[in-house]
Every structure is written in structure tokens, then in C-alpha cells.
Structure 1
Amino acid sequence: MAFIGDMLSSAGYEVVIFFFVLSGFFIRYAQLKKHRPAFRFYLNRIVRIYPPYLASLALGVLTLYYVAAAHPNLMTNAIGREFNASRLAAWHELHPLTLRAIGRAVLFLMPGKQFFGYNNVYWSLLPEALFYLAVPLAFWRVRYYYSLSAAFYAFGMVASVLHLNISFLGDFLLLYNGYFALGVGLYDVVTTRPRWLPAFRQFSGFWLALGIGMLLLLLIGLAALHLRLLSGPLASALAVLSVSALLAGRVQRQNLLVRAFHEVGIFSFSLYLYHFPLLILSYVALVALTGELVNFTRYYWIALPVVTVSCFALYYVTERAAVRYFRGT
């Protein structure tokens, strides 16, 4: 029952859309605060992304090798568990390990039917990278960028309703880029429209919190039904409302929840990349200790603190170390 409840309330895709809006907002902020020409901007993004990404690739591959060698019972189709079957498929795709597969992985592409190292969170990295590629040109003529993004997004929604088959690049141009553009536009609205934030200060805190809470519950329901044409726009709207309410001072800086999320946010990218292989390793360790395929509740709450602490340690030796080196040079 705990597993069913968690799966029905999960909204991984919608959280990523929320993050796309935040990404557009903060990239706009960073570029206006300290403008970087195209080469410096790309170099900065490469240094921020690739060290932890490549380390997570290695961790995922090593995890698959370890499970296959030491716990083959967790990598078989015999017991009918989809988790085992998909992990087995990812393991088979490592043989043979070709340069083409490695090249596709480096470019955030899926080499086969599974992502390299069996880490499906990688799907969001290509839209992020494509947005970064577009930033220097998009910000050079930002008004044209807004107009084109709005037009492409409207066409993308129509194409999705009509079930037109479009490529992943088409998905970015017609849908995902719209969420990044919304974040970019939100920053410009906040900084150039003096009435935007005061309007949020006039709202009753109770009704604002109640409204955001109800939208969040609606979002979870849409996510459970896999209605992404509705849940994606709703997640982006929640991002706009949340950021605006925060900047308008409707949430105190001393708020314990805000402070906790701020600390986690520092290493959130590393947490995003590393958590899945670490969850698998935690599960393998628990199975080895108990001698049984443990249930969801026991596994999840034991693994959560271990994975979080491990991701923080990996953040220090990969992402943080790379950023410090880049700034030092």
C-alpha cells in the first residue's frame, strides 16, 4: 500500500518541468549579472555539467557490473519483476561497448532502449543542453526568442493533441523550450514590471497558500493519470507562482523548510544524477543483509538518508571540485 501510494503521488516529469522554468530564470539572472560571451558561457556549462555527469555514468556502469557479478538473482527475467528485466536489458546493451554507444551517451542520447548505465533521469539533460546552446543567440534578441518560443509551444501543443510524430529535437523546440523561455521571461517581468511583485504582496497569505496547495494536488492527480499535456503547463504555472511568492516576501527567509531546501539545492544536480545507481546499490545491500527481496517501505526509508549523504560527498569531489578549478583558472 505504501508503494502504491507513493507511485500514484509521484510526479517526476512534472518536477523536471518545474526545474526547466527555474533553470531559465536563473540562467537569465546569471547572464545579466555577469555577461559571458558564447565561448565562456559554453565552457562554464561544460564544467558544471560534465564532471558529475561522467562520474554518474561510470557509477551506473560499475553498479550494473557489480549486480551482474555478485547478485545475478536481481538481474533476471525469471521472477517476472519489471525492474529486474529493465536492468537486465541495460546490462546487455553494454555488450559490446562500442564507441558509438559511448559517443551517444556523452551527447545525452540513449544508446539503445535504456540509458547508459541504467539511469533514466538522463532524459532531461538533452533539453537542458539544447537550451544552453541557444542562450547566447536567444538572449541577443530576447524579444524574438519569446515570440518564437510562444509560437512553437502553441504548435507543439496542437501537434501533441493530434498525436503527430515529432523527433526529440522537435519535442525541445515545440515544448520543452517553452518552459525555459517562461523562466527567462519571468525574470524579465520581475525586474522590469514594478507592479508584479507588489500584486503578490496584496494577496492574503492564507488564500495564496491554499491556492498553491490545491494546484499542487491537482498536479499530482494529473501526473498519476499521465496527462502530461495538462500537467506540464500546470507545473510551469506553479513554478511562476512559487518563485513570485518567494520573491515578494510571502515566505520568510527563516522558514525551516526553505532553509532545508536551500541546503539541498546546493548539491541538487549531483543528487539528481547519482541517486538512482545509489538507490540500486542500497537495495542490493539490503537484499544481501536480509536474504530476501525486501518490501518498498523498508527499502525506501533506509536508503533515503544513505543516498542523500553519498550524493553530497560525490558533489564535493566532482561538481564542486570542477567549479573551483574553473574559477581558479
Structure 2
Amino acid sequence: MSDLLDAHDVLLADLDGTLYRGRGAVPGAVDAVTGAARRGTRTVYVTNNASRRPVDVAGHLAELGFPATEQDVMTSSQAAAAMLAEQLPVGSPVLVVGTEALAEEVIGVGLTVTTDPDGAVAVVQGHSPDTGWRALADATVAVRAGAVWVACNIDPTLPTERGPLPGNGSMVAVVRTASGREPQVAGKPAPRLLRDALRRSGARSGLVVGDRLDTDIEGGNAVDLPTLLVFTGVSGPAEVLAAPPALRPTYLAADLAALTRPAAELAPAARPGWQAQPGDDGTLVLSGDGAGSPEPALDALRALAAVHWAGKGGEVRVQPDGPAAERAVNELGLPTGADAGTGGSTTVASA
């Protein structure tokens, strides 16, 4: 029986929350990626993080055991620099709000870096933990004067070992508020980064893999590629049910081990052992026992998603009918009380 890897010649994989968390690899991720490589499916590592050089990202991945070289890494800083180069004459001065890694990408496409906001014809903005008020003020001056403005990404938060902290999108919001202008966006969910990654790979059938609905999945949908959401990072089952069409994944899986499973088993659809149907009071009713399923809770979610997405979608309460259904709903953390919601999710709310 064919599996998900048989249908794809490249994986466009997110990093944090998908392949690693903090300093360690997500359990099973290294085996999954190296196994895919042995079967001829390359992985291109696609990250919105613009603060590190591709060679440093590749080095980190290799240390964890992933088959990665500099040419396998695509960052939002590369995509942002390419966007600027298409719009500006060679040698144009660009104000860089970000790290040296971002500045090097700008220089690498034939542009120059300036610290003078009055002389800048463009501003590129990427995450740096050292960004302060003066840098944001200079960016505002240049943007307000008409400079081309490209944001590497607009992620509102950045996952850290201390929990979510302000990401590049929060800094972009400062300049947006002060200047009254909107940036062009290079990173996910905007299509440029994934398109560049797919073009570099030379592949014909890509699969976007990630842990966030509002960047990875929305980005994959924006470039009309199938998507696999893994529950090893940010987005959870309640968010999946509530997701609007642009954020809905093609496949759902616990982790990357699912790459060797048949695609039909991972897609939201009716699943053996479970029955999902709309309730009279606007709820979803889950019944059955998931008998024979290797992962009863996730199969319950796939069944629920198929029914809910075929209707109006949106936030919903799930009413379990029977002890097995109650166990599955509890394991998934789905809302069952009067206060339906996504648990304060930013991945759905921000969309």
C-alpha cells in the first residue's frame, strides 16, 4: 500500500515545533526525515526566522541528526532580499532592521546597507532581540517618506523556552501604527518563501509540513500545495476544528512518523469506529468507540473535522456520546461546555 511519501518528492518543513523544540529534536523527527531521504524525498527546511544565517541553521539541524546542508535551508531573510532586488536598482541603499544575517542577504543581492533613514529607498525588517526604539523610529521615518518596506515575517510571537515572546510581527506592528503603511511580506503565510523553496528544490510535488495553522498551513494553502499539520508544536485540535478554510490542513498527524502512513488515513474524513454529526443545539455529537483504530482520538478529530468543515465551521462545542467518545474528547482537549472556544489561541484568532 502506498503512503504519504510516495506522493511527494520534497518536504517543505517548518523547524521550531515541527523538527525541534528548544535545543532538542522532536521525538521521531530525525528518523522520519532521514527515512524520507533514503526513499528519495528531499527535505527543504523553510523558516520564518530571519535572525540566523542559512549555514548556521543547517549546522544546528546537522548537529541534531537531520540531513541538512546550507543549500537545504530557505529563510525569510533570503526571500525578503530577493523581493527587494526585484524592485530596486543595483546598489540601492536599504535600511536594515534586524541582524547581521539579514544585512548579509541584502548585500548578497547587490544592494547596500545604510543607517541613514533619510537616504534609504527601502526598509527590510526581520527579528532581532536587540531591536530598540531608535531602530523602529528610523524605520518609521523612512517608510513614511515612501521607502519600499518588506517584512521578513509578521509572526506576532516567537516560541521560546520562556513561552511565547514578541516576534517580528509585533515590531512590524509598531512601524505600521506609526507610519500608517502596510509592508510587503516575504515569510509564511505569504507565498514568496514557499514558492522560492519549491523552485530551489526542483521538485514537482511538494508537501508543506508544520505545526502552526496561521503560518505553515495557511502558507501551504496560499501556494496550492497539500499540507500536513503535526501536533508537536503550537496549534491544537480545538483550533483545527475552528479553523477557517484558508487555515485547514490536508492531513492531520500526531508527528512526522505519519509520513509512512497511507494518505487516506490522515485526511479529515469519516473514520471506522466513529460517528460524527451535528447536534440540535449547534454542537457536534461524537459517538462510537474507535474500535480498531491505531490512534482513536486523532481519528475522532478527523471525523469531526470532516463533518464540521462541510457545514458552517467556526468555533464549536463537542458533545461526547458514550465513555469512549468522552475519553477521545478529553484527550483532544475539545471544548464541551457553554464557553466554546480555542483556548485563547492566537493561530486562529490572528487569521
TM over 0.5: no
The structure in which a higher percent of residues are helix is: 1
The structure in which a higher percent of residues are strand is: 2
Q: What is the TM-score when the length of structure 1 is the normalising length?
A: 0.25
Structure of greater relative contact order (alpha carbons < 8 Å, 6+ residues apart): 1
